[in-house]
Chains A and B, each alone.
Chain A
Amino acid sequence: MSENPNNWPLWEVFIQSKRGLDHKHVGSLHAADAQMAIENARDVYTRRQEGQSIWVVPAVAISASQPDDAAMLFDPADDKTYRHPTFYQMPEGAKFI
């Protein structure tokens, strides 16, 4: 991406706000290496106790689906409502189900 070899690469940052929750993507930043990316992420994304754990991933390592493929990838789920519990009719009076 960058022509100048002294430009720090881009990292995507994921923060876990609390134990037990997912790490969630919060943004990106530039850093020379992973250690510095974590330290910078601490300063940029957790100044108000937003996190208790940080993941950083080189942006170039992320592969993403293309918007054009969205229909192919996600439409097949549209007509499969039987995958949801509300699809089923329960007999009157049955409990805990």
Chain B
Amino acid sequence: MKSKSAILVGVGGQGAILTAKVLVNGLMKAGYDVKMSEVHGMSQRGGSVSTQVHWGEKVYSPVIGSGAADLMVAFEKMEAVRYANFLKPDGIAVINDYSIPSATVAAGLETYPEGCLEAMEENFKCYTLDAAKIAMDLGSAKCMNIVLFGAMTKALELDDIDWEEIIRETVPPKFLELNLAAYRAGRAAAE
């Protein structure tokens, strides 16, 4: 097979790195060679963050550049726009219909851009969902990342991987039921 790449983008603290780890655990279990890249440091302080996952029979580079991602998962919609150039023209985007104003927007120095979702949907095959609302309906905003993860697994079409089993192995027992429900709801939202 040709190797595949995903890019998970959001704002520091949203759980993009953790979600990427669940994805990687599944890919490892399925026997793929996997590489993952993340950046720490400055970016954690409310800045824009991205994590990349690259998998296949044998993969070399842990990072990708422009026009190389098969899949994007955007935890925040302006971040989807920021990283859109990483997507292949026929790439797929899973987008959280959720906005976090940046400090410059909050301070009134900039305005939050209009039409992020529409621009993405006009250019790429998109699965858009309100993961925050789905998570709140399930009882906790904290499982928003697993809702997005569920939608991502649908978009990925890696159906030979038992993702529920991977979640069981990754998530502490206390939060297992919530996260399984979040996963299923996310998957259903991407149907």
Our verdict on whether A and B bind, yes or no, reads no
Q: Which residues of B contact A (CB under 8 A)?
A: none
Q: Which residues of A contact B (CB under 8 A)?
A: none
